[in-house]
Amino acid sequence: MNGSALAQETRLTYSSYLELDRLLDVQRPRSRDHDEMMFIVVHQVYELWFKLLLHELGRLQEHLEAGDSGPALHTLRRCVAVLQVAVDQMDVMDTLTPAQFAGFRGCLGSASGAQSAQFRELEAVLGLRDRTALEHYEEGGAERLRIEAAMGRRSVLDSFLHYLSLQGYPMPAEALHRDPVLPFEAGRAVREVLVQVNRDDMVPAQVGEGLLDLDRLLQEWRYRHTKMVQRMIGARRGTGGSSGAAHLATTWATPTFPVLWEVRGA
């Protein structure tokens, strides 16, 4: 390390390393209402967790497709821990009363949580192939391109099937080389392999358990979010013209990896 780089390194502080001046300057309420600050901070923190999850899930897929069981399990545990914190964070949102939310809701304009591009990208990385999710984003825009790119490459579940093949399980070729743009449909042969993985109860089964933990926590997050919206606005439409709790209530019980649940107990 040269003298200039060393001098710069010694000037590094906690604040400068984390760029706290920038980070703590992006909470800008649009009303004078006290409770809007909490609302902004919680949602910004969610976006940071989503960013970390996308980062870790990319690494998880690398480990799975390389057949590296130990690193894959370690990364899965981190993903599960992050998602658990995201679920628990809803406790903070639940301190907001309907009257308090009404105090600044009008300042939200057309902004809606349904517009979170990182969450839509996260769904796509895990395997959702719902093109209607792109409607909130400008065609050719950076957010839409990221979501479309995630829909066009292998999902986490696809990577898990490749991992099982590397562990010696007879995964059918049509599952390993399927078009990732299409929704995943598990055939009989895939189900039989997954049943055998569970019966063997070895490390590959532990990886599958980690994926189920992710799925469970994502469903729990959706449920908590739905109930929070119902408590805040009842059956009214959400901000930005979204359908509010009515639509959310139809999604929270939908599993991300349905086939992993379907083979339980078989």
The answer to whether 190 is a known ligand-binding residue is: no
Cα end-to-end distance, the chain, whole Å: 59
pLDDT over 70 for what percent of the chain? 89
pLDDT beyond 90 at 249: no
Give 3-state DSSP helix, strand, coil % of the chain, rounded to 5. 70, 0, 30
The answer to whether 43 is a known ligand-binding residue is: yes
Residue for token digits 């449920």?
A: 223
Q: What is the pLDDT of residue 9?
A: 65
pLDDT tens-digit map of 221-240:
999 999 998 988 886 555 55
Residue for token digits 């039989």?
A: 192
Q: What is the pLDDT of residue 246?
A: 53
The answer to whether 263 is a known ligand-binding residue is: no
Architecture of the domain whose range is 35-94+116-262: Up-down Bundle (1.20)
The answer to whether 104 is a known ligand-binding residue is: no
Supply the pTM of this predicted model: 0.90
Residue for token digits 């399927």?
A: 178
The answer to whether 257 is a known ligand-binding residue is: no
Sign of the CA dihedral running 55, 220, 115, 124: positive
Task: Tell me the C-alpha to C-alpha distance, in Å, between residue 88 and each of 5, 45, 61, 81, 100.
Answer: 41, 12, 26, 11, 21
The answer to whether 26 is a known ligand-binding residue is: no
The answer to whether 226 is a known ligand-binding residue is: no
- Mean pLDDT for 105-129 is 93
DSSP 183-199: PP---HHHHHHHHHHHH
The answer to whether 188 is a known ligand-binding residue is: no
Taking the C-alpha atoms of residue 171 and residue 182, their distance in angstroms, rounded to an integer, is 18
pLDDT beyond 60 at 244: no
Candidate from 25-29, 144-148, 159-163, 248-252 with smallest mean pLDDT: 248-252
